[in-house]
Chains A and B, each alone.
Chain A
Amino acid sequence: MSGGEVKKIMFTVRKAPHGSIYVYEGLEVKLIMAAYDADISVVFMDDGVFALKEGQNTKELGIKGFAATYGAMVDYEISKIYVDRQSMEERGMSEDDLLVIGEDEDTEEPIKPQVVDAAEIAAMMAEQHNILVF
């Protein structure tokens, strides 16, 4: 990417993970974008929060699961991962249900997505150069 200013790019994920290809395609795009010098954040809202549910196993669907890749997001240097609190709670999920997305380099403590409120997400949206929707 040219120009001095680092672009702020947000991905919003609103669909459930296995009923369509959106969430998987979105993940691919995130990993590609992570190779560029961009300030990436990812927000899971509405049914998108299901993509972060721990314990997903797609073996019997006969498809390769991608939750493990989400679980390695921090390795791809995407660490700004947020979950909308209300979407999560409406779907009977709590912070305990979220998969681990990496571990702290120093302490080796597991890193989980950050649970935030709609107002915080709205404020982050306003700061972005671009928002991509999956």
Chain B
Amino acid sequence: MLHTVNKSPFLNGTLESCLRFVSEGDCVLLMEDGVYAAVADTARSALVEEALGKVSVYALSADLKARGLDNLIEGVKVTDYNGFVELVEQHKTHSWL
């Protein structure tokens, strides 16, 4: 499964909800305001840090760059739009809109 999250973890609980429903080996793609969850040393960093033991976490590079984010949690993989398409091709997707 691929789970996409596009909401800031500081504004609502979408990422937390998503992470309650992931299975071992699933992928989580952070996009749009969701990429704020990929940043290290924030009040919400623990969400992704803990999830990395169970799932792969990706962050969309265009959204990171647009927001000036580069201090990412170790283990988060940065992907571009082509990588996004590949993830969607490889998995069933649930969008946590």
Chain A residues with a Cβ under 8 A of chain B: 12, 14, 45-46, 86-87, 118, 121-123, 125-126, 128-131, 133
The answer to whether B22 touches A122 (Cβ under 8 A) is yes
Residue from B23, B92, B95 in contact with A133 in the complex, judged by beta carbons closer than 8 Å: B95
B95 to chain A, nearest CB (A): 5
B54 to chain A, nearest CB (A): 11
Residue from B13, B23, B96 in contact with A122 in the complex, judged by beta carbons closer than 8 Å: B23
Residue from A121, A128, A130, A133 in contact with B21 in the complex, judged by beta carbons closer than 8 Å: A121
- Residues in A whose Cβ lies below 8 Å from that of B14: 46
- Residues in B whose Cβ lies below 8 Å from that of A131: 92-94
- Residues in B whose Cβ lies below 8 Å from that of A86: 20
The answer to whether A118 touches B20 (Cβ under 8 A) is yes
- Residues in A whose Cβ lies below 8 Å from that of B66: none
The answer to whether A125 touches B94 (Cβ under 8 A) is yes
Residue from A14, A123, A128, A129 in contact with B17 in the complex, judged by beta carbons closer than 8 Å: A14
